[in-house]
Amino acid sequence: MTAKTLTQFICQNCGASYSKWQGQCAQCQEWNTLVEELVNQKSDQRQKTSLSKALLNKKLLNFSQVERLSEAKQRFLSNIGELDRVLGGGLVTGMTILIGGEPGIGKSTLLTQTVLMMVAKSAKPLNIFYVCGEESPSQIGMRIERLLKKSKSQNLREKLNKALFFVTSSDVDEITTLMAKQKPDLVIVDSIQSVTTSDLTGASGSVGQIRECSARFIDQAKSQGVPVFLVGHITKDGAIAGPKILEHMVDTVLIMEGERSGQLRILRSLKNRFGASDEVGIFQAVDWGLNEVTNPSELFLENQNQAVSGAATVCVMEGSRPLLTEVQALVVSSHLAMPRRVGRGIDVSRIQVLAAVLQKHARLSLSNYDVFVSAAGGFKLSEPAVDLGLAVAIASSMSGKKIPQKTVFIGEIGLLGEVRQVAYFERRVKEAKRLGFNKIISAQNYKHISQVIKAL
Ligand SMILES: [Zn+2]
């Protein structure tokens, strides 16, 4: 082994460097901003060599020399429809995908299922690396046994025996060496927080380690043309900065969301170099794993067989896909000086604005009432297009008037109570009609919230 590589600690706020870690940066006085980095001793030399003419010519590409994605990179399917959808049509060779989310949300489950589906559907024999730092191979093995029981494929176990390899090392340099030697078709690193390099002194999970290890995986993925999944845990308050700093390094960032107690899991792409970002995949957590939800609207619409008060159907865009869901409101008289505004899956400030608009422009005296609002199925609704449905649900709960069946509300509400047109209107209407909703309330037939409420 060579001598230990030199490291330094760089303040992420002001860039000051230190030879030792310290809690506070002496330069800018910020706390916990120092991150360990490798000292690049070769930088002077590199600058000179890269100035040579031959090298410079290599660095300049004529437009005709530029490889097009379709020819240079190969796409292949994970065979999990919702995952392929979020990835923009499958995996791309050499891409690094960060998949983030709270511990226990189902990231490992999704990736194990991906392994099984790929092995089951692949025509050629595969070689897949599963780097297990979070769980032991036997724990992952147990999960696979559960999935195998569900599978109808006879020879899947046999194929899996040949294709899946657990990597038990947590040393990034050992793992990348193994990758170079064994040439896997897919690598899953579960998780990036559990991997380290001995070149840095920091513990596993420290920002410096996460960044350096990721950089090495990304290099290896690119040079070998192998897709690599990096699992990154984030806590509820986003306390671990790790995955955040990776977002600009990797090609694709997927986030898995959902309430752990609920069944719904949403896989969202925050960044995708090879496809549209903001695309969404929907899964249902079941006893054996994650079930794809290809027709999400049907999942959220429950109270559709009777007219009720306080519940309205809205249509939101999740990525490029319209989705019908229900919002519920409960309005009860309050004995508090400051009546409560509580939202589950809906921003409280949005409820406050809507309550104020209803009070001023629809003459609903909400100042003496508590307002509770909730989105169905643990879904987070942030789109303004749900305003109209929310306002109607609140008004309906207060008055006790029932909202007619098969009615969907699509519209934003302005501060003057006006109903506004929203983006992708046609697509939303089409989805509503597909599901048998024949009455669409929107800016096209009502100009003001007071008219909508009166018409109920
Ligand atoms: Zn500083």
Task: Give pLDDT tens digits for 404-442.
Answer: 989 999 999 999 999 999 999 999 999 899 888 989 999
Higher pLDDT: 160 or 245? It is 160
First-residue to last-residue Cα distance in the chain: 78
Half-sphere exposure in the Cβ direction for 358 (13 Å, CA): 29
Q: Is the pLDDT of residue 280 over 90?
A: no
Q: How far, in Å, from the CA of 29 to the mean position of ligand 1?
A: 6
Bond from prior residue into 442 cis (ω within 30 degrees of 0) = no
Q: Is the pLDDT of residue 102 over 80?
A: yes
Cα–Cα distance, 360 to 415 (Å, whole number):
9
pLDDT value at residue 283: 92
Q: How far, in Å, from the CA of 34 to the mean position of ligand 1?
A: 8
Q: How far, in Å, from the CA of 208 to the mean position of ligand 1?
A: 16
Q: Percentage of residues in the chain with pLDDT exceeding 70?
A: 89
Q: How far, in Å, from the CA of 24 to the mean position of ligand 1?
A: 8
Kindly report the CATH class assigned to 74-294.
Answer: alpha beta
Residue given tokens 């380690």 in the structure block: 209
Q: How far, in Å, from the CA of 22 to the mean position of ligand 1?
A: 11
Q: How far, in Å, from the CA of 276 to the mean position of ligand 1?
A: 36
Task: Give pLDDT tens digits for 178-203.
Answer: 999 999 999 999 989 999 999 988 88
Q: How far, in Å, from the CA of 202 to the mean position of ligand 1?
A: 19
Q: Is the pLDDT of residue 275 over 80?
A: yes
Alpha-helix residue ranges (DSSP H) falling in 130-287? 137-150, 156-163, 172-182, 207-224, 242-246
- Provide the strand spans (E) within 341-427: 341-344, 369-375, 407-410, 412-413, 419-420
Q: Is the pLDDT of residue 47 over 60?
A: no
Q: How far, in Å, from the CA of 15 to the mean position of ligand 1?
A: 6
pTM for this entry: 0.79
Q: How far, in Å, from the CA of 248 to the mean position of ligand 1?
A: 22
The length of the chain, given as a count of residues: 456
pLDDT bracket for residue 303 (50, 70, 90): low
Q: Is the pLDDT of residue 245 over 80?
A: no
* Structure-token pair, residue 282: 């929907």
Q: How far, in Å, from the CA of 18 to the mean position of ligand 1?
A: 10
- The pLDDT of 250-256, averaged and rounded, is 92
pLDDT bracket for residue 207 (50, 70, 90): confident
Protein fold of 298-455: Ribosomal Protein S5; domain 2 (3.30.230)
- Domain-wise residue ranges, the chain: 7-44, 74-294, 298-455
pLDDT value at residue 240: 47
Q: Is the pLDDT of residue 4 over 60?
A: no
Cα–Cα distance, 229 to 218 (Å, whole number):
10
Tell which residue, 316, 353, 313, has the closest CA to residue 329.
313
Question: Mean pLDDT highest for which of 72-81, 258-267, 312-321, 351-360?
Answer: 351-360
